[in-house]
Chain A
């Protein structure tokens, strides 16, 4: 009840100076949008970083323990893929080849680095959207499927496929026929992807030794405990491979980008900057509000309002600013997300959990500003009123 009256007084005071109120709300909104964008980019980049491992179907995977990140894999001996078949619970194992090479934009002639992913498309170890209908066409020599969610700098490949069917492009200095498009998505490591069979992969990447692969996807028999198989395989395989579950592979890839690069820090730092700027703005507004109303505050103290009540008023003003700054910040960020997602092809979108945590941060930002501004209340001395 007392808090409600204090909040009403705070609201009336905020309303009394529209220009100041608008600039305070704009400050909070600005901080809000900044934090939303930073956190959104961070989540989207980490999410897209694991596009490839998320599309892989295996229950278990073999990678070289020295591999930090998939776009720069350390080789795995191909024979390991055969060795795991000795376990009675393993149904099949599929070597996956990864390499990056140049792709020439058929329109502009400019070259750009593309991620090649080679594997047996019939084995069922990989499930890129659109792949199933292409397995037959990909078996032909010198064919690839192009990732339609690659960056536009590779050229309007998907559009041209739809218009006039398969056509030739230059990949790694070799003419390859694009027979169709799949859907995978870009990541930090790859601006675009091309999918092909093992044989065609080696026709592009000629220096690759046939005995080395980059990743092995293992499918288990139905109803088998993956953890138990993982332990058995880890025990028998030499230490040049690590056995990971699908979730562990995704985490492995993400952890490189989160911990092995300054990306996480940069976005965290950006968010913090936004919050600090917002806090300074809110503090300035609250402080000057108190400073200009010092006499009124002193009068309120003189007629029997406690310090506690006046602190409630300041805190209520801070939290009202948080609320009224957050709403446009939230709406603006949601709109910005879709604009930026279109431009960057990153999986950027508003999420309830993020909205809640940003609200919490903005709330805390304003509360701290309120606590700092409150100290000014001490200067309102009722004894000076007479």
Chain B
């Protein structure tokens, strides 16, 4: 099995920017590995994550994610790859008009072979796994910030992704519930053997990682 993520010589310059935001980044993440990405503001962590997550087109270098070469990949190849990645954002970004269960099921509706009943059952299992078994029919507006972010974790993991990408998932939460969410995420991922690349500034969760990668000025150090 090739590693889920390999980057070599990845550089990136924003259209509007004058200098490269990423410079010759090399990085490999192994099967089931939980990697924290840290570094000062503006060092390029988010940019790196959007490239790995196929949310942005590559400019130079080579980046293989879950077997898909992203350099020169088409839009539809990138959309297909995104379906195999679980994303967790700073904001939960749940659909406000859907219940927790329906939100989680949205990640499963991408698989045309699944039936409505199995999708809803699976969504229920995932919500149970994040400790929200009693909130399945609540709308996001009726949940606390931490609960919403846990729904987002359930959504990210529901479709059995080959990789989880998270960018400061605790940023909108108070310290305690932030830590709870991250621990929940890493526990669930570890049980399932899913690798995680997680950007964080929070020094108190550094211990959950298998490895910590620091970035500075567009470079991994």
Contact = CB atoms under 8 A, between A and B. Distances in A.
| A pairs with B | yes
B82 A385 contact: no
B101 interface: no
Given A1-B112, A386-B167, A12 B106 contact: no
B49 A386 contact: yes
B67 interface: no
A51 interface: no
A296 B95 contact: yes
B110 interface: yes
A304 B106 contact: no
Interface residues of B, number: 31
Given A2-B112, A386-B55, A304 B97 contact: no
The 8 closest A-B pairs by CB, nearest first: A16-B97, A304-B83, A299-B93, A386-B167, A304-B82, A383-B55, A383-B56, A382-B55
B97 A385 contact: no
Contacts of A2: 112
Contact of B80 (A13, A300, A304): A304
B87 to A, nearest CB: 5
B93 A296 contact: yes
A12 B96 CA distance: 10
A383 B57 CA distance: 10
A301 B56 CA distance: 12
Interface in A1-22: 1-2, 5, 12-13, 15-17
B155 interface: yes
Interface string A368-386: 0000000000000011011
A243 to B, nearest CB: 68
A302 interface: yes
A188 interface: no
A12 B93 contact: no
Interface string B88-101: 01110111111000
B53 A302 contact: yes
Contact of A383 (B50, B76, B107, B155): B50
A303 B83 contact: yes
B133 interface: no
Interface in A285-323: 293, 295-296, 298-306
A207 to B, nearest CB: 77
A295 B92 CA distance: 10
A298 B53 CA distance: 14
A306 B79 contact: yes
Interface string B186-212: 000000000000000000000000000
A304 B96 contact: no
B24 interface: no
A366 B90 CA distance: 36
A11 B102 CA distance: 14
B97 A13 contact: yes
Contacts of B64: none
Contacts of A301: 79
6 contacts: A296-B93, A302-B89, A304-B110, A305-B79, A382-B82, A386-B90
B46 interface: yes
B109 interface: yes
Residue of B56, B79, B80, B107 most packed against chain A (CB within 10 A): B79
A385 B53 CA distance: 11
